Amino acid sequence: MTYEPRHCVICGKEFIPRRCNQKSCGGPECKREVQRMARKAYIKKNYLKVRDDNRKYMQRMRGEIGRTPKPDTIVAEGYAERQMAASLKMAGKIKVEL
């Protein structure tokens, strides 16, 4: 089925739609803008659901849900000496003779 030529709601260019409800010419910028407009309309219509979903997602990303704190394994006494010994062990012995 063919439709009458229309004007793109974004750029104003004339195009022949492929669907009866097509609003844009199908160019990449126009397509992106139509998707952005639809997303904004959905968020406006379903504000509370979107807000709750975003909060749950961010809590999951921050690790607030289902997170158990690690036990404290660092003993402060003698920590610096242990770190120096470990660093020297990794570096190995250095020859100072020529």
The verdict on residue 95 lying in a domain is no
In a domain, 81, yes or no: no
Q: Indicate the average pLDDT of the chain.
A: 89
User: What's the pLDDT at 52?
Assistant: 96
pLDDT score, position 76? 79
- The pLDDT tens digits of the residues spanning 50-86 come to 999 999 999 888 887 766 777 777 677 888 888 899 9
Residue 94: its pLDDT value, please? 78
SS (H, E, C) 20-62: CCCCCCCCHHHHHHHHHHHHHHHHHHCHHHHHHHHHHHHHHHH
Q: What is the rounded average pLDDT of the residues 32-42?
A: 96
C-alpha dihedral over 18, 24, 25, 27, to 10 degrees? Answer: -120
Q: Does residue 50 sit within a domain?
A: yes
Listed residue (22, 1, 21, 23) closest to 10, CA to CA = 23
> Could you tell me if residue 1 is inside a domain?
no
Vertex 27, ends 22 and 29: CA angle to 5°?
A: 110
